[in-house]
Chains A and B, each alone.
Chain A
Amino acid sequence: MMEDIVRKIEEANEEAVRRILAGDPLWEDIRPAREVVPGMAENTILHAGPPIRWERMAGPMRGAIMAALMFEGRAQSPDEAVRLASGGEIRFSPCHEHRTVGAMAGVISPSMPVFVVRNASFGNLAYCGWRDLAQASGCFDELTIKNMRWLRDVGMPTLAAAVRKRGRLELKPLWARALTMGDELHNRVSAGTSLFARAMAPHLVRAVPDTSAVAEVLEYLADFDLAIVPLTMAGCKSVMDAAHGVEASTVVTAIARNGVEVGIRVSGLGDQWFVGPAQPVKGTYHPGFTEADGCPDLGDSAIIETAGFGGCAIAAAPTHVTVADEPGSASAYTREMYEITLAKNSSYPIPTLGFQGIPTGIDVRKVVETGILPIVDTPVAHKEPGRVRGVIGFGMSRPPMECFVKALTAFGDQYLP
């Protein structure tokens, strides 16, 4: 009997990993969330991480929601936004439960445009909101709202016209190339964003007659190193969603943080969240800030690590090790991740590790057995909303072991006789 379940798990994990390795994300479009995100009603606001009520939300998430309500014209002031958010009229829901991911606070309201990515191998779609660092980290001042409106009215429609003109953008070769150029694809993305700009520039010019809009978008791509991150997040979400729902698989298909709790989802355990307390981020803080100022672990961007990039592939980003806890630790982090994963994805070789593929398919059993937790490299928001425009540092974080022990226990309850 016991051998049966072990065989079943091994076969299920092989299938889940096969799906991850076969993932082929294509960026196809940008559309307003209300038009494409499943379950997005006019009173819906999506957020990062596992479910959480307004009363328990972290500062940056509250600030980002206040910005969203003012941006949507539903509130005229921060105070009015707080009254509306706390009044019960708004339905808050995790991005992940809508085939969507959101950076940092991950707040997405109905009129915000989202990147639309199709996993060509399996046909499933995934979405990610834009990345405005100020709003995503909880700013809600006039400049933030103005920048959000520029993204909605100029930036995103211009990019949308370009990608429609191009037909689609294949993310797989772009990611692979960026990895060989010193990116890990989460926070060291200079190569990826440059390749993205290069791929889109001619189509921007051909698709959009308004040259000032084209110039503004090219400036945005030139000035904002992290511009490609939401596209990568949507791509990784499309890959991991295809691996979700494999009966008896112990592969982790999502790691998501809301600033209070971290939640994981497991392929063979349906849509349950397994949560534990979000941890402070160890890292490099901007002058004048320390770990004590930082909001604990925040954002859906850990979907990038779940797919094997980011912290898991940080050996590929030797220039990014300054945010790690000691020099030379980047390779050690990635080597450690091979201990808790089931495969190496040869589509994405890491030059500094002899071109081994990125660690792929985090196995809940291996995490609990070894005590090695997935490593995430992540930006940090100030814990008080609106206090700082943008992030206050970057660092390394790990989801709590509690998530994995809870998942393993639930797995035993569901699958063992």
Chain B
Amino acid sequence: MRKHERAAPHPGKEPLRVVNVGLEWFHRSLLSQGAKTVHVAWRPPAGGDPKIANLLDRLSGRTTKE
């Protein structure tokens, strides 16, 4: 039971450790509040444009590998 409690950290009791994906502003905001965070600079391929993403797939061979 005790082991289970430790595996699910309770905000406020244990320091937050955050992996932030995408918007860097969240990462900076948490940093400024003293939280431990790692930022992953991820953006959707081709800026999220499905037509360009499809073109990229065709020119990079990703579709053929699926």
Are the chains A and B members of one assembly? Answer: yes
Give A residues with C-beta under 8 Å from B. 2-3, 5-6, 9, 250, 365, 368-371, 401, 405, 408-409, 411-412, 415-416
B32 within 8 A of A: no
B63 partner residues in chain A, CB cutoff 8 A:
2
Instruction: Please classify the interface of chain A as helix (H, G, I), strand (E, B), loop, or mixed, using the class held by over half of its residues.
Output: helix
Contact, CB under 8 Å: B45 / A369: yes
Cross-chain contact B47 with A6 (CB below 8 angstroms): no
B contact residues around A411 at 8 Å (CB): 59
Specify the main secondary structure of chain B where it touches its partner. Answer: helix
**Contact call A5/B43, Cβ cutoff below 8 A:** no
Is A369's CB under 8 angstroms from B46's CB?
yes
A409 to chain B minimum Cβ distance, whole angstroms, is 7
Chain A residues whose CB sits within 8 angstroms of the CB of B59 once the complex forms: 5-6, 9, 250, 365, 408, 411-412, 415-416
Interface size of B by CB at 8 A reads 14
Interchain nearest-CB distance for A281 vs B (Å): 22
Residues of A contacting B60 with CB < 8 Å?
A: 6, 365, 369
CA distance A250 to B60 in the complex (A): 11
Contact B55 A6 (CB under 8 A): no
Q: In the complex, A6→B58 CA distance in Å? A: 8
Given contacts A2-B61, A6-B61, contact A365 B56 (CB under 8 A): yes
- Structural contact, B52 and A2, CB atoms closer than 8 A: no
Asked whether A368 and B58 contact (CB < 8 A) given A3-B64, A408-B52, the answer is no
A6-B60, A6-B64 as given contacts; A408 in contact with B47, CB under 8 Å? no
CB nearest neighbor in B for A369 = B45
Residues of A within 8 A of B49 (CB): 405
In the bound complex, residues from chain B placing their C-beta under 8 Å from that of A415 are 59
Known A408-B56, A412-B55: A368·B46 in contact at CB below 8 Å: yes
Residues 23-52 of B contacting A (Cβ, < 8 Å): 43, 45-47, 49, 52
Q: Is the CB of B47 within 8 A of A371?
A: yes
Q: Which residue of A lies closest to B59 (CB)?
A: A365
Residue of A nearest to B63 (CB): A2
Q: Once the chains bind, are A2 and B45 in contact (CB under 8 Å)?
A: no
